[in-house]
Amino acid sequence: MASILLQTPALHAGTIPFSRPPTPGVHPLQIGFCGLGAMGYLMARNLANSFKSQPPLIVYNRTVEKSQKLLAELGASTIKVADTLNQLATECDVIFTCLANDAVVISVYNEFAKALAQSPPTKVKIFVEMGTNYPALAGDLDRMLSSFPHTRFITSPIFGAPLAADKATLVIAMSGDYRSKKEVAFLLVPAVGRKVIDLGENVEKASTLKLIGNGNLAAILELLGETLTLGEKSGIGQQTVYDLITEIMPAPAIISYGKKMINDSFDGSVGFSMDGGIKDSSHILRLSAELNCPMPAVSNAHRSMITTRAIHQAQVVSGTQQWDIIDESALIASSRVAAGLDPFNSKKGTAVVREE
C-alpha cells in the first residue's frame, strides 16, 4: 500500500536540481559578496535579507560608496563592509563575485589567491563567479584556486535584467564541483533567483550557456530595432509595431527593451551599458569563431552596438550627449541613422505618411 501513496513534493522541486545539503553545524556559514554594480547590488541586498538571523553579509566594492549605501539601507545587523579583498577571502566561507569584465575578474581573483597563499584555508571555502566571462577564464580560475587546500570554485552566471534581480526572479546557470553547487543553489534560490540550471562539473559550461543566451538576446534586440525603425519610417509608427510584437511575442526582454527603444530611454546608468553589450557580443563571436559556428545575427547586433557607441562618443566630444552612459537598447540608433532618422530622439523622425 505504501508504494502507491503520493509523495509530498520537495519545497524547491523543479527549481533546484540538487537534494538539500546537510544542515549547517554549530557555526553558520559566513557569506561574502564582491561587486555591487547594477545587478550585484540588488542580488547582495536580497541575499542579505534572506538570512538576517545569520552573520551579516560581508560586502566589498571598488568604490566604497556602493557598500556604504547598502549598509545604510539594511543596517549593521545585516551588512558588514570589508575594507579589502583579503578580508573577504579570509573571513568568508562562500564568496560571490559579480564583476564587470574578464580583466576585473582576473585582478580580483589574483588578490584572492594572494590572501589564500598567506592564510591557507583550514575548511571548505567556495568562490562563485556570477558575471558574464569568456569560458576559458573559468578554467583558469578553477586551476588557480584548486591549488589551495579546501578551496572550490564554481561558475554561476545569471539571466535577467535588473528588474528581475530586484524581484529575485533570475535564472541561474551553474557548473563546477557538485557539492559546492548544492550548497550555493540553496543559498541563491529563492533569495536571488527562481531556478537553477545545472551544467555539470566542467566549470566552463555555465559561462558557455550564458554567452549563448546573451547572443540570442543581442540578435533579438537588433531585429527589434530594425522593425521599430521600419515602422516609424513607413508611417505605421513604432508604438503600433511595438504593440503588435508584444502581443504576439510577450517575452520580458522584448517588452522591457522595446519600451526603452520607443521611449528613447537610453540611460545606461540604470540599465545594462552598451560597453557591457559589446563585451558580451565580442565573447560570443570569439567563441563562435573558435567552434566554426557562424552567428551572423549576433555579428549584425555587434556592428550596430559599435556604430551606436561611436555616435554617442562623438556627442560626448562635442558636449551634446544626453546620457554619460548609454543602455544596450540604444543600438536602435544604428538602424535609425541608416534610415535617415535621428539616433536618440524618435520625436525628430521624418516618417513617410502613407496615403489612403
Specify the residue for cell string 582576473: 106
Phi-psi group of 264: left, alpha or beta (phi > 0 → left; psi -120 to 50 → alpha; rest → beta): left
* Single-letter code of the amino acid located at 204: E
| The three grid cell numbers given for residue 195, joined into one nine-digit string | 531556478
DSSP label of 250: -
Cα distances from 77 to residues 73, 87, 288, in angstroms, run: 11, 18, 47
Phi-psi group of 35: left, alpha or beta (phi > 0 → left; psi -120 to 50 → alpha; rest → beta): left
Contact 120, 149 (CB under 8 A): yes
Q: What does the buried/exposed string (b/e) look like for 216-248 if buried means 16 or more CB atoms within 10 Å of the residue's CB?
A: ebbbbbbbbbbbbbebbbeebbbeebbeebeee
Model pTM score:
0.92
| Local structure of 222: helix, strand or coil | helix
The residue among 179, 156, 206 whose CA lies nearest residue 43 is 156
Cα distances from 152 to residues 68, 128, 179, 337, in angstroms, run: 29, 9, 10, 49
Residue 339: count of CB within 10 angstroms of its CB: 15
pLDDT in tens, the chain (356 residues): 344 444 434 445 579 999 888 765 556 899 999 999 999 999 999 999 998 778 999 999 999 999 999 999 999 999 999 999 999 999 999 999 999 999 999 999 999 999 999 999 999 999 999 999 999 999 999 999 999 999 999 999 999 988 899 999 999 999 999 999 999 999 999 999 999 999 999 999 999 999 999 999 999 999 999 999 999 999 999 999 999 999 999 999 999 999 999 999 999 998 899 999 999 999 999 999 999 999 999 999 999 999 999 999 999 999 999 999 999 999 999 999 999 999 999 998 655 555 55
